[in-house]
Amino acid sequence: MIRLRPVLCTAAFLLLFFSIGAGSAVQAQSSADDQLPQDIAVLVRGPVRGDRLPFFQPNAIENYSGYYTFRQQDITVYYTNREIVRFEEWEPAACGGVQLYRLEYADAEEAAPPGVYFYQTDTYSLFFSFPGELNCDFIERFLLRFDYFRTVRELPTKRPPFPAVVE
| Cα radius of gyration (the chain) | 25
Residue 13: predicted pLDDT: 41
Q: Domain limits of the chain?
A: 1-36, 41-166
Following DSSP, what letter does each residue of 137-149 receive, concatenated?
HHHHHHHHHHHHH
This prediction has a pTM of 0.73
Each residue's pLDDT tens digit, 13-57: 433 333 444 444 334 334 434 444 578 999 999 999 999 998 888
| Cβ proximity of 41 and 68 under 8 Å | yes
Per-residue pLDDT, averaged over 66-88, amounts to 94
Each residue's pLDDT tens digit, 35-47: 445 789 999 999 9
Distance CA 167, CA 163 (A): 10
